[in-house]
Structure 1
Amino acid sequence: MGKVTGFKEFERQDEGYTPVKDRVQHYKEFTVPLSDAEITKQGSRCMDCGIPFCHSGCPLGNLIPDFNHMVHQGEWQKASWLLHSTNNFPEFTGRLCPAPCEKACVLGIIEDPISIENIEKNIVERAFKEGWIKPQPPKTRTGKTVAVVGSGPAGLATAQQLNRAGHTVTVFERDDEVGGLLRYGIPNFKLEKEIIDRRLAILKAEGITFKTNVNVGVNYDVEKLHEFDAVVLCGGATERRSLPTPGIDADGVVQAMDFLTQQTKVVFGKEVKDQVLATGKDVIVIGGGDTGSDCIGTSNRHGAKSVVNFEILPKPPGHRSPTTPWPFWPLQLKTSSSHEEGVERNWLINTKEFVKDENGKLIALKTVNVEWKMVPGERPQLIEIAGTEKTWPCDLALLALGFTGPEATIAQKLGIETDARSNYKAEYGKYQTNIPNIFTAGDMRRGQSLIVWAISEGREAARQVDIYLMGKSDLPTKDATGDLVAL
């Protein structure tokens, strides 16, 4: 694949960024694209490795060596066809996926891996620019109707696949715009919302119906779902994790998703009452994941006085840890573009108290340094280190602690079984709940996960729904190795 000696001749090149002082003044994407010639070189680096592991690292089973080879040859339209054969929305994954495929790249054992994610992004952007991505409505309709609850990546993938099978699909979204966390949970500087709208125009032209401001189980009676031949629940894992910490009710302790959602709505001129702003404040972001990083980038754009980040886990090593060898996802320090914009990062630190003034407003955080005691066969123990107590000035604390699972409303009202983690219970590979015509996919089934897993589950669930409705399916699926077995 690629040029036989390409990985020896060309070094990995990634997109650049505009200067920090410029990009923190706006909420637009700020990457500096590589030239077509340079992207071609990056595709040429894909080595003829015999047994590629990249597509096994990818939950979608993307045909990575194949589309890399097409880019190497300048066959961009064929590259787009290959990419879309396994991935409904490469414009999302090409911007937001942490790229487990790259961590499984064989070249990554000895050199920098292939820049798969950026190649993917460039393929789909070229395809939109050239007009190769067009609506593909089904030639015939089956007469079967399907409701998809939730319009995040899992819901959108489910809807498109089922629509392609000829079923009549209606997608319900409780927010005022389609997209789920893609719309309001991801800052505009990482994913401009026009990118979502561009794809939605395709989906609508293919015949999918979208209904917004419909909160199933709240302002839409769950009994109405029985009017559909099948239902797929893709509502995500949206129960936010909090802390059992004194002072958590202080005015100034805010959930990260509220903070990020408000800002995105403001960017698009929507009315937001009492927007939480970081302007001129000492901000502490608790949580070291991607959402925490998004809060850091947004706080810097607000003009925060200072931005500090807390993480209770140890600082990861700068290089792949021996505990997570290739081709596994590595334990390794990640520094995002938002981190580079300005933040003080702290590891092994635990918040003990949110300090309030007499009016209940947050003024400080009290912390203690910790260590983890590892005992074979037992759960890790969190040990506080005496004498490390510290008080940090803080006007705004943002809780970026992830999610505990899906909301229970629909499960309770429909009688759907849940597992020990509150996820909607459905066997992987089947996606069928204890109610035969109701399926579930994405974070609602598996818990908080990656966008690439959401799309994968949506595609696989759609196939199972199609089989349930029709007795068979021509929709693609993957075998146990991750290889595509039907197109």
Structure 2
Amino acid sequence: MSDVMRPIPFAQVMDWVLTEHETQGSIFGVRKAYVHKGGAERIFEERIETPFGPAAGPNTQLAQNIIASYVAGSRFFELKTVQVMDGEELSACVNKPCIVAEDECYNCEWSTELTVPQAFAEYVKAWWACKLIAREYGLGDPDGFVFNMSVGYSLDGIKSEKVDRYIEGMKDASGSEVWAECRDWALANLDRFQNVDADFVNSVSPQISNSVTESTLHGCPPDEIERIATYLITEKGVNTYIKCNPTLLGYDFARERLNELGFDYIAFDDTHFREDLQWADAVPMFERLIKLCDEKGLAFGVKLTNTFPVDVTRGELPSEEMYMSGRSLFPLTVELARRISRQFDGRLRISYSGGADARNIRDLYAAGIWPITMATNVLKPGGYERFYQIAGLLAGAPRSEVVDVDAVTELAARVASGKDYRKPIKPAKPHKIDAELPLMSCFTAPCRSGCPIQQDIPAYLSRVDEGKFAEALQIIVERNALPHITGNLCPHPCGAKCERSFYEPDGARIRGHKLDAARGGFEEVVAKLRAAGPAKSAAAANKNVAVIGGGPAGLATAFFLTRAGARVTIIERTDSLGGVARHVIPEFRISHEDIDHDVALCLAFGAQVQMGREVTSVRQLFDEGFTDVVVATGAWAPGRVGLERGEEIDVLDFLRAEKAGEPMELGTDVVIVGAGNTAMDAARVAKRSAGVENVRIVYRRTKKEMPADEEELQLALEEGVELMELLAPKAVEGGVLTCDVMRLGEPDGSGRRRPEPTGETAQVPATAVICAVGEQIERGLYEGAGVEVDRRGRPAGTATGVDHVWAAGDCRRGPATFVEAIADAQAVARDLAGVDFNAYAEKNVRADKLDAIMARKGEICLDVAGCTTSRCLGCATVCEVCCDVCPNRANVAIKVPGLAQQQVVHVDGMCNECGNCAVFCPWSGRPYKDKLTLFWSAEDMDASENHGFLPLPDGTFRVRLASGEGVYDVSDAACGLPEDVRLTICAVRDNYTYLLAK
């Protein structure tokens, strides 16, 4: 049954560990094994080599999760909370999927879904496994890690027989069956170890944990919290931390801080703030418990913080309330740490969780806040291997002996004012590609799918990283005729699909590397193109094509067609080529030299140019002997605001005049009406104009709905441009623009909320109003050629519906991007001359660079601005994101003899359908539902709808696919199964036997 986790017997756990390490060089998918060298901290009278690890949550509920964390570098494990309600009773209360961690994390699960005895057994198995592999593989001191219990949520529940037995068993597991199981297996299998002997096995301490973190549900009364802590201290004799809720900060602060940082969409009211533990009750309670622990010789501290309850408003999870953690929780938690450290003058120990990651963990540790645990961080791509980097960052790092109040105060202030924890102004674009997840062979480069021209991005990024600029540019120009223009100006929609964006918000350095390749390889590549000359394509040989317009679309069309062997003449009405890039885009965004280089590239195969000629009739060009005509004239007709009174300046007229050195008189106060990238350009140019004091952008929606790219808007704001939201211009007179004040209503056809007038008006100083609301298409050429257009003047497509008349760029789409213009040029060349653009597609896969690609996994770049490499994760070569992010290790990458790519197999018995893999998979699919599934029992296979296989006692396999279900002898190549499925099942049977149920 897919949502039921089946604990793995210790023998299988260890067989898995030892065999995978021997055959694959990894343990539960973790390839980066951290070897600790040096000393250890003292905590709870135990030793801890690295003061961090996984928080109580999905990463500490099964033995394999804890083992994976240990291998990657963790040495402190806050075990998943146990409570009196457990097993099936609890699982029935947890809606699935229950985790979504795309940016900040939300979950609707709160404690282990196993029974309490099962949870105990998992922790004992993990304890033994970590001891054994520490010694066997030399990862560190086998006594250098600490298990910390987490129990909840009421005193009665904690006193219940099963939870009490759990606590006592964790204090001393020697009398338990699972302890004997683990010890006996180790003694019976000493021959499988090189560095483990009987003396070591018999020396393993049964004291698994002498510390506990008390977890309470929201609304738990303060006296109940104190009673639980007192009981744990006095009756159970364990070192005790109390997990605090962010609600201690108060509603007003939490709401204001999240709003300031752009998380205003996160919905919550003051209910929990009123019902949870209050500051006035918490402080004296902590004082009493500190004194009590001092008397008992035990440690007391607070754990900051629990997750933060918020409302489900956008269908994030199938529940009404969910718990927030991660990046958005960090500013709240660090502020609570500041308040507590100041209140107690640094003498109250603070254990930390709440948005900790590689970017901030050294600061937390240096301030004397430790141990530090995390969940959201390792639920993201890179997974457990993110711990490896963190272990390295903390190795030998200094820290304060007590909590340093000033250091925590400085950190809290920096977080509140800095950008690292600020949500981007505009919502992230969907990162998934619009295609179903394949059952087999799913590795793909999602960046290519997000690119309108399917640029071979991984291929050229790897060459630039190697310093092979000409080779990289050769790959680029196969599909992209304008590498300099797009290297400067492309809005890089590929970045929205980039898996690296889950490491750093900017993703891989795609556009920057394109420009590096263009500038570094231009001379060599252009020389080679000219020397090689056009291809001898039969489809293009008899084509004589006129391209009307020498802008980006026309240039790209000419490049692709002439490269294929067609004759092409570009007819341009101005005296220079380059279109909008040449005449409109300000030079602080792109230089004339870069434009000149792209023009030279596009003319490399001999395209002819006629300058200063205005074409008024397509028919005339046919009369001149052209076989085909491509209209690529752009969208130069002005858009209009439609002011009731007053004059408006067309944005293209303004930008052309400024770029030509003929500036307009604008006065002191300029208003830009519009919110696209052209509006941002106009605002920044106006800000630089002589005599202009203030530039304001007036927009009828809010900044979140603006079509401008985030970076373009941010640059304008940083240069002092003011954004005025929810204003619709009416009239300008006397230096004042009168606007209707708007509000946002229901979404319109574009999905954006429709602006509605409130009946109020506002006045904005305006000595000049520049209209940037969308340029229009000039329709004359279409009308003369008999091309039908829609109400916006657009033809049906690049093939206009009239034979031999084509369209590309803005005059086909309306105002569009340069890369979309190139996509149109590709479509024309493909349909007109049979051009194939796939020459370098296979170069996206770099099997020779697999080790280097894998080394980047889990490694967050802490200095993106100073990083010169692409940071590309090579998804086309090896993706495995679903394997990275699965806390239970239920998705496994399999090497299959006979297949070029590794295959992902989903192990049903290890999955509880948390849904995290579905969040990060680049496909529009759910790996835990859509990948080939290995079942451990007929019962589980019958309860699932997944396509997959079940080993049968006679060596055959029961297999269910879309085509049906049957029993197969997979050794027989003619058994009737698809070959990739058959080979994968054979690989599991022959090389991954540890995956099979014992």
Q: 2:693 aligns with which of 305, 323, 328?
A: 305
Q: 1:258 aligns with which of 647, 653, 657?
A: 653
Q: 2:755 aligns with which of 382, 403, 414?
A: 382
Matched, 1:364 2:736: yes
**Corresponding position of 1:225:** 622
Q: 2:816 aligns with which of 432, 442, 449?
A: 449
**Corresponding position of 2:361:** none
How many Å apart are 1:198 and its aligned residue?
Answer: 2.4
Matched, 1:92 2:485: yes
Q: 1:132 aligns with which of 525, 541, 545?
A: 525
Q: Secondary structure at the match of 2:654?
A: helix
Residue 375 and residue 259 in structure 1: after superposition, are their counterparts in 2 closer, same or farther (change >3 A)? closer
**Corresponding position of 1:340:** 718
How many Å apart are 1:277 and its aligned residue?
Answer: 3.2
Amino acid at match of 1:345: L
Q: 1:396 aligns with which of 755, 758, 768?
A: 768
Matched, 1:175 2:574: yes
Contact 1:173 1:213 in 2 (8 A): yes
Residue 65 and residue 221 in structure 1: after superposition, are their counterparts in 2 closer, same or farther (change >3 A)? closer
Matched, 1:162 2:561: yes
- Partners of 2:747 and 2:716 lie apart in 1 by 36
Contact 1:254 1:398 in 2 (8 A): yes
Amino acid at match of 1:343: V
Q: Secondary structure at the match of 2:609?
A: strand
How many Å apart are 1:340 and its aligned residue?
Answer: 1.7
**Corresponding position of 2:508:** 114
How many Å apart are 1:115 and its aligned residue?
Answer: 1.7
Matched, 1:149 2:548: yes
**Corresponding position of 2:806:** 439
**Corresponding position of 1:289:** 676
- Partners of 1:476 and 1:462 lie apart in 2 by 10
After TM superposition, the structure 1 stretch with the greater mean CA deviation from structure 2, 136-145 or 371-380, is 371-380
- Partners of 2:711 and 2:516 lie apart in 1 by 26
Q: Which has the higher helix share?
A: 2
Matched, 1:215 2:603: no
Contact 1:165 1:475 in 2 (8 A): no
- Partners of 2:746 and 2:765 lie apart in 1 by 32
Amino acid at match of 1:392: V
**Corresponding position of 1:373:** 745
Amino acid at match of 1:407: E
- Partners of 1:75 and 1:81 lie apart in 2 by 10
Q: 1:70 aligns with which of 463, 466, 482?
A: 463
Q: Deviations over 1:207-242 (max 9, x none)?
A: 11111221211xx77423342011111112223221
Aligned residues: 397
Q: How does 1:16-95 map to 2 (within 5 A)?
A: 50-95=443-488
Contact 1:282 1:396 in 2 (8 A): yes
Contact 2:684 2:721 in 1 (8 A): no
How many Å apart are 1:380 and its aligned residue?
Answer: 5.6
Contact 1:350 1:370 in 2 (8 A): yes
Q: Secondary structure at the match of 1:169?
A: strand
Provide the aligned C-alpha RMSD in A.
3.1
Contact 2:481 2:598 in 1 (8 A): no
Larger RCO: 1 or 2 (CA < 8 Å, sep 6+) = 1
- Partners of 1:235 and 1:224 lie apart in 2 by 15
How many Å apart are 1:332 and its aligned residue?
Answer: 5.9
How many Å apart are 1:317 and its aligned residue?
Answer: 8.4
Contact 1:297 1:339 in 2 (8 A): no
Identify unmatched segments of 5+ residues in structure 1.
Answer: 11-48, 267-271, 319-328, 357-362, 467-472
**Corresponding position of 1:46:** none
Matched, 1:244 2:642: yes
Contact 2:464 2:516 in 1 (8 A): no
How many Å apart are 1:419 and its aligned residue?
Answer: 2.2
Residue 77 and residue 203 in structure 1: after superposition, are their counterparts in 2 closer, same or farther (change >3 A)? closer
How many Å apart are 1:330 and its aligned residue?
Answer: 11
Q: Deviations over 1:420-447 (max 9, x none)?
A: 3320223xxxx32232111112222222
Q: Secondary structure at the match of 2:525?
A: coil
Contact 2:481 2:602 in 1 (8 A): no
Q: Secondary structure at the match of 2:655?
A: helix
Q: Deviations over 1:92-113 (max 9, x none)?
A: 1111011111111012234331
How many Å apart are 1:201 and its aligned residue?
Answer: 3.0
- Partners of 2:629 and 2:754 lie apart in 1 by 43
How many Å apart are 1:172 and its aligned residue?
Answer: 0.9
Residue 379 and residue 159 in structure 1: after superposition, are their counterparts in 2 closer, same or farther (change >3 A)? closer
Q: 1:188 aligns with which of 587, 602, 606?
A: 587
- Partners of 1:299 and 1:331 lie apart in 2 by 19
- Partners of 1:116 and 1:232 lie apart in 2 by 30
Residue 193 and residue 288 in structure 1: after superposition, are their counterparts in 2 closer, same or farther (change >3 A)? same
Identify unmatched segments of 5+ residues in structure 2.
Answer: 1-30, 33-380, 391-441, 846-998
Residue 108 and residue 317 in structure 1: after superposition, are their counterparts in 2 closer, same or farther (change >3 A)? farther
Residue 373 and residue 58 in structure 1: after superposition, are their counterparts in 2 closer, same or farther (change >3 A)? same
After TM superposition, the structure 1 stretch with the greater mean CA deviation from structure 2, 367-376 or 377-386, is 377-386
Amino acid at match of 1:418: V
Residue 434 and residue 376 in structure 1: after superposition, are their counterparts in 2 closer, same or farther (change >3 A)? closer
Structure of larger gyration radius: 2
How many Å apart are 1:333 and its aligned residue?
Answer: 7.9
Residue 409 and residue 330 in structure 1: after superposition, are their counterparts in 2 closer, same or farther (change >3 A)? closer
Amino acid at match of 2:584: G
- Partners of 2:709 and 2:823 lie apart in 1 by 24
Amino acid at match of 1:409: G
Amino acid at match of 2:784: K
Contact 2:675 2:708 in 1 (8 A): no
Contact 2:737 2:766 in 1 (8 A): yes
Residue 232 and residue 88 in structure 1: after superposition, are their counterparts in 2 closer, same or farther (change >3 A)? same
Residue 95 and residue 117 in structure 1: after superposition, are their counterparts in 2 closer, same or farther (change >3 A)? same
Contact 1:317 1:331 in 2 (8 A): no
Q: 1:476 aligns with which of 828, 834, 837?
A: 837
Q: Deviations over 1:68-125 (max 9, x none)?
A: 2223333333222222222111111111011111111012234331121111111111
Contact 1:315 1:348 in 2 (8 A): no
Residue 81 and residue 55 in structure 1: after superposition, are their counterparts in 2 closer, same or farther (change >3 A)? same
Q: Secondary structure at the match of 2:589?
A: coil
Q: 1:105 aligns with which of 478, 498, 517?
A: 498
Contact 1:351 1:366 in 2 (8 A): yes
How many Å apart are 1:203 and its aligned residue?
Answer: 3.6
Amino acid at match of 1:223: Q
